[in-house]
Copies of this chain bind each other. A is one copy, B any other.
Amino acid sequence: MQITFLGTSSGVPTRSRNVSAVALRLPQRAEVWLFDCGEGTQHQFLRSDFKTSQIRRIFVTHMHGDHIFGLPGLLASCGLAGNQQQPIDLYGPPQLKDYLQACRRYSQTHSSYPIRVHTTEPGKVYEDDDYIVSCERLKHRIPAHGYRVVEKDRTGHFDVKRAAALGIPPGPVYGQLKRGEVVTLPDGRKIHGADLCGPPIIGRKLVYCTDTVFCENAIKLADQADVLIHEATFAHQDADLAYQRLHSTSTMAAQVALAAQVKQLIMTHFSPRYAPGNPLQLDDLLAEAKAIFPNTLMARDFLTCDVAPAAA
């Protein structure tokens, strides 16, 4: 699991930061999942090393323009790219479907591939053999959801050499043993697959919380995450603005990370006000957060981070 930030500014783009979007690359899949899609996200793809044609799922946190205005163009471009486009599943608030339909209707865009829009409710949003995505309601001016992506735990590495040494003939039996099943061999021996597998591989956990003021649900969603991406629109000194606009300060983001016992916090969604010239700068936001939760990073556009495998 590898994340790349495609936009890290709040509200409006700046010369160096686009509005919100995070790409998630999944191992062993030529597939990208996107979280939010502010205007210009397709342009950021052009500047990155992946292609919009790899996008398979898009999770939308809420309907504010800086999180959705890139969707109509990106979905239209995917259809125009010429290469066979896989279906795209979108997840988000109930209005997402109507918004996309309106944009398609007014711009007379005819999609050449399936686009399916799903309404998110707190709880499980998506599941396949390898991943579960769930969400929780956050605390913003309009309904907003944070997302949690959990890689399922897998059985440990199967020890082929030991299986051979035990005289187990290669074949479908190996698959059963790899899955941890108990198998009776032709000679009557009972083999426990678990005995031939290494320690289970614990799945990684990535959590994305934006837009929100400090809230208990963020802590619940972020529980034990390997990486928590949390918005930090404002500095601690501007907490009044954060409460007024229902955004977070760097301190709030760090408090969520601490309370949820995550491994790493990456802050994003910064107000453009902390540009050079302001007495407060982004370095101050980082210092404020680190005082509470030391393993904190500031996102910047195109920052790429591995979500490290958890220790067994």
Residues of A within 8 A of B (CB): 11-15, 18-19, 38-40, 42-43, 46-47, 63-66, 68-70, 72-73, 76-77, 80-81, 95, 98-99, 102-103, 106-109, 141-142
Distance in angstroms between the alpha carbons of A18 and B73 in the assembled complex: 12
Chain B hits for A106, CB < 8 A: 63, 68, 95, 98-99, 102
Distance in angstroms between the alpha carbons of A11 and B12 in the assembled complex: 24
Q: Is the CB of B69 within 8 A of A72?
A: yes
Nearest chain-B residue to A47 (Cβ)? B15
Chain B hits for A77, CB < 8 A: 11-13
Chain B hits for A40, CB < 8 A: 39-40, 43
Chain B hits for A69, CB < 8 A: 39, 69, 72-73, 76, 103, 107
Given contacts A13-B46, A14-B46, A69-B73, 7 further A-B contacts (CB under 8 A): A12-B80, A15-B47, A19-B73, A39-B69, A68-B106, A69-B76, A95-B106
Chain B hits for A68, CB < 8 A: 106-107
Are A42 and B43 also in contact (CB < 8 A) when A103-B99, A107-B63 are? no
List 15 A–B pairs whose Cβ atoms lie within 8 Å, in order of A's numbering.
A11-B77, A12-B42, A12-B80, A12-B81, A13-B42, A13-B46, A39-B43, A40-B40, A64-B109, A65-B103, A66-B76, A68-B107, A69-B72, A69-B107, A102-B102
The 9 nearest A-B residue pairs measured at CB: A99-B106, A39-B73, A102-B102, A65-B107, A69-B73, A12-B77, A40-B40, A65-B76, A95-B106
